[in-house]
Amino acid sequence: MKTPVCNICLKTGILCPRCQKMLASGEISENEVKISKLLYELTNKYNIAKNITFVRAIEFDNLLILVVGKNDVYEFVRKGGMIIKSLQQNLQTKIRIIEDTKNIKKIVLDLIYPVRILGVNIVYLPDGTKRKKLRIPLDDEKRLPISLKKVKEIVYEITKESIEIVTE
């Protein structure tokens, strides 16, 4: 399993000098260390694949976004969502899992699941800049797990691109 913390630290429960230095410099957060340790325990407990990757954690209000490796979202939500449920109980917060990618459509899909995206348009603004506009069905708006404003903030935090989300 790949995490921001090395495997030796996960096994011993004590941070090595390298990981301690990364924590002190802010390269990794205290939350990421805690999540890495919990994931290590849960992978052994639920016998899930050992080749999963936990990249980082992003906190927004009462929501924790876990960024995981390419194609690893399934590993975190399989077996009835036991890993997510355990993490939510231990951390006392709501969790969403997204794949580590720069593809805005994929990020938004992971954040707003089960809501669909009808399409992605590129809007050319008068000042010469471009902005992506994502369209979601009006009927699905009430099924959104998080607000559209939060989705825009999270996407900006991850990709440094501002987007527009509209319902039709």
CA 156 to each of CA 72, 107, 116, 149: distance values in angstroms, whole numbers, following the listed order: 22, 11, 20, 11
3-state secondary structure of 53: strand
Would the CATH topology of 1-100 be identical to that of 101-168?
yes
Residue 118 to residue 168: CA distance in whole angstroms: 9
Q: What string of DSSP letters covers 62-126?
A: TEEEEEE-TT-HHHHHHHHHHHHHHHHHHHTSEEEEEES-S-HHHHHHHHHTTS---EEEEEEPT
Could you tell me which residue, 96 or 79, shows the higher pLDDT?
96
Compute the average pLDDT of residues 99-103: 88
Token reading at 79: 């077996």
Compute the average pLDDT of residues 89-102: 89
Residue ranges of the domains in the chain?
A: 1-100, 101-168
CATH class of 101-168: alpha beta
Token reading at 154: 């999270």
pTM (predicted TM-score): 0.84
Does domain 1-100 bear CATH number 3.40.1190.20?
no
pLDDT tens, residue by residue, 106-164: 999 999 988 999 999 999 989 988 899 999 999 988 898 888 898 999 889 888 888 99
List the single range of 25-34, 57-66, 76-85 with lowest mean pLDDT. 76-85
Question: According to the model, what pLDDT value does residue 25 have?
Answer: 92
Question: According to the model, what pLDDT value does residue 82 have?
Answer: 80
Are 83 and 53 within 8 A, CB to CB?
A: no
Token reading at 7: 């495997």
pLDDT tens, residue by residue, 9-60: 888 888 899 989 998 998 999 889 999 998 888 887 777 767 788 899 988 8
Residues 6+ apart with CB under 8 A from 125: 131
